[in-house]
Amino acid sequence: EMYNYFMEVMKNPIGVCALMGILQCESALYSDNLQNVFNKKTGLSDEEYTSLVDTGEYNKNKFIHDGYGYGLAQWTFYSRKENLYNYAKEKGRSISDYKMQMDFIILELNYYRCNGMNFISYLKQTTDINKATVDIMKIYEAPYDISNEAQNARKYASKLFYEKLVLLKKNEEIKNYTHYIQFGAFISKDNAENYKNLLKDKYGIDILIKYIKPWYKVIVPGFNGYGNARKFIEKHKLQDCIIKEL
């Protein structure tokens, strides 16, 4: 649900998976997630805290200023929690409503800026999932811990989403196609990975590694017919590659 929702807005799986990696590390994608340390401090479960906020027993002022991270993005700073609270009330939704929080994230990302543009525009264009993840972390998420270890955890989560939601799907789709574009074949997987990354940086396109014993082949899959593969090569001005039949 989250991937499809954000794809409707950004239409770029790299940007979407970078954002989802951040949210995974913050809340495990639970929209009623109360920062764990405060579950222990207050003795409240996520559901109990949410219910108290929704009913007003835990009033707006308390919610805004309690310093507890909450929701998909673990909103903590008082002004952002106030905006979230007001938005939920405006929409007539629970503070934990999943769709409402995703809508709110889009609103926030339209406000925050990166590389001279709003974050939505940036995520629509990005081709580097690691850089996008770190940019979201430092500018939008803004956690206390921005160490290399924390960055690597988020990059790992983002790439895992990309592998599961994008690459595995593409691998399934390959079975229905007749041709692919091959850039090279390597005995070493590491060499294939390095070459793949160089090509992605150069051309800004999705490139996969497919193991066909004993080779790790660096390819662009997914073409019905030789002519469509040739058009793709011409469109992206690809060099040092060949078209092969599956």
pTM exceeds 0.75 for this model = no
Distances (CA, A) of 95 to 6, 66, 75, 98: 20, 15, 12, 9
pLDDT by residue, tens only, the chain of 246 residues: 899 999 999 999 999 999 999 999 999 999 999 998 889 888 999 999 999 999 999 999 999 999 999 999 999 999 999 999 999 999 999 999 999 999 999 999 998 888 788 899 999 999 899 999 999 999 999 998 999 999 999 999 999 999 888 876 666 655 668 899 999 999 999 999 999 999 988 988 889 898 888 999 999 987 888 999 999 999 999 999 999 987
CB-based burial label for 113 (10 Å; 0-12, 13-18, 19+): middle
Of 214, 216, 176, 222, the C-alpha closest to 193 is 216
Distances (CA, A) of 113 to 92, 122, 140: 29, 8, 9
Which residues sit opposite 181 in a β-bridge? 220, 243
The span from the CA of 135 to the CA of 121, in Å, is: 13
The span from the CA of 22 to the CA of 158, in Å, is: 7
